[in-house]
Amino acid sequence: MKQSSPAPSPSGPPVLALHGFAGGPETFDDLRANGARWLCPSLAGHGPRPDTSASDFVAEVDRLAAWTRQQVDGPVRLLGYSMGARVALGLCARHSLLFTDAVLVSVHPGLRELQQRRERQLWEGRWVHLLETEGLAAFLQHWEELPLFATQRDVDPARLERQRRMRQSHGAEGLARALRVLGTGVMPDLWPALRQIQIPVRLVVGELDTKFVEVGRGAVEQLSRGRLDVIEATGHNVLLERPEAIRRLLDETSFVPADRPPEARSGGSAKA
């Protein structure tokens, strides 16, 4: 499993950082300046030699939990983006004692209705078919045209080029596997688990990503120690578009005092 190099002089708890679909450990290069040790594994199906051992979403969650325990003694901070945030939420639900807190960027707790799940599985299945029949280049050409990523057009060209290199580093078969194992259509419904999570969880969404703003507002109401941060003039990939905002949020180590009333804990939407 790939992992980015630790900082030479770590301070504070380590950070387990999980990238999004077609991303990689390099996703977090702009953030690894706080002196902590960063653990940045590749998710199932990603990288030139992808791990394909997980048969489903829960198996991948458990694989990453076991790997984390092998890397560190004691709890770590948790950061995830998009697909990685969904896996991170699974870790919070199944292995919460591993973590001090979590920052989940553009997370979706899963689809609650059977019809929604079927529609999403069909949508993801079309991408799998494209990967398997036409290959990575054709897939990326269409994937990068999704309206979800339209707000990235004004991002620093060097960052966009790094993102494209990450995407091109994967194999078509591996990404197809990632969608089959970790897609939103096949993941468990984690909405009921939100109320059981006792660690502080910070949800982060881009203001222009209206679908995920609504998802975040619903999710934060279910978390006993949650907060929602809406980053102004930003789309789905907050890490790419506003890395400095994520860096600032990570530096705020205590954001939900235990003596706050529940409505303040769950409803705190902040703009940055």
pLDDT in tens, 26-80: 999 989 866 789 999 999 999 999 999 999 999 999 999 999 999 999 899 999 9
User: Average pLDDT, whole number, for the chain?
Assistant: 90
Position 265 scores a pLDDT of 31
Average pLDDT over residues 186-193: 98
pLDDT in tens, 105-117: 999 999 999 999 9
Has residue 7 got a pLDDT over 70? no
pLDDT in tens, 202-224: 999 999 999 999 999 999 999 99
As a whole number of angstroms, the distance between CA 105 and CA 211 comes to 13
HSE-up (13 A, CA, CB side) for residue 104? 32
Has residue 256 got a pLDDT over 50? no
Average pLDDT over residues 138-150: 95
Position 272 scores a pLDDT of 45
In the block, tokens 């919460």 appear at 96
Position 35 scores a pLDDT of 74
Average pLDDT over residues 154-179: 95
Average pLDDT over residues 155-181: 96
- pTM of structure: 0.90
Position 30 scores a pLDDT of 87
Has residue 6 got a pLDDT over 70? no
In the block, tokens 């979800």 appear at 148
Locate the domains of the chain by residue range: 15-271
Has residue 266 got a pLDDT over 70? no
Per-residue pLDDT band at 127 (split at 50, 70, 90): very high
Question: What is the CATH architecture of 15-271?
Answer: 3-Layer(aba) Sandwich (3.40)
> Among the residues of the chain, which ranges form H helices?
57-71, 83-94, 114-134, 136-143, 157-168, 172-182, 210-220, 238-241, 243-251, 262-267
DSSP bridge pairs for 271:
230
- The SS3 assignment for 56 reads coil
Position 74 scores a pLDDT of 85
Terminal-to-terminal C-alpha distance of the chain = 34
Sheet containing 15-18: which strands, arranged edge to edge? 38-39, 15-18, 76-81, 99-105, 201-206, 226-231, 269-271
